[in-house]
Amino acid sequence: MSGDDLLFVTLTSLSIQRSGPDSFAVEQSHDGVKKNLGLMSETELWAYLNSRTLIDIIPCQVVTFLNTCKALDLDMVLAVLRTEVKNPAAART
């Protein structure tokens, strides 16, 4: 990434609720819109969390926390966008 690039990060909220011994209801909320990601087994949840960038928590902490509590809300990165900013001064030289 050069000094002329801008980085935009979009965050979203993830809600996970234990619905059974090995099942979790997962929901994503972004800009006031909720998206039901469906039921996931612990293995599916683990794979999903490991494929995402979580904020201030790691997947093993999520699973450990859900072993003692019924629900957890957390933030994760939804998208990262890099845009190149053209430097008019550099183009003239």
Please report, for residues 2, 78, 88, the alpha-carbon distance to residue 93 in angstroms, rounded to integers and kept in the order given. Answer: 18, 38, 9
The pTM assigned to this predicted structure is: 0.74
> What residue ranges do the domains of the chain occupy?
5-79
d(CA 64, CA 76): 18
pLDDT of residue 7: 66
Can you spell out the DSSP letters for 5-57? EEEEEEEEEEEEEEEETTEEEEEEEETTEEEEEEEE-HHHHHHHHHTS-BSS-
pLDDT of residue 89: 58
d(CA 67, CA 85): 46
**Per-residue confidence in pLDDT tens, the chain, 93 aa:** 555 676 666 788 999 999 999 999 999 998 888 999 999 999 999 999 999 888 889 999 999 999 999 999 998 887 767 776 666 555 444
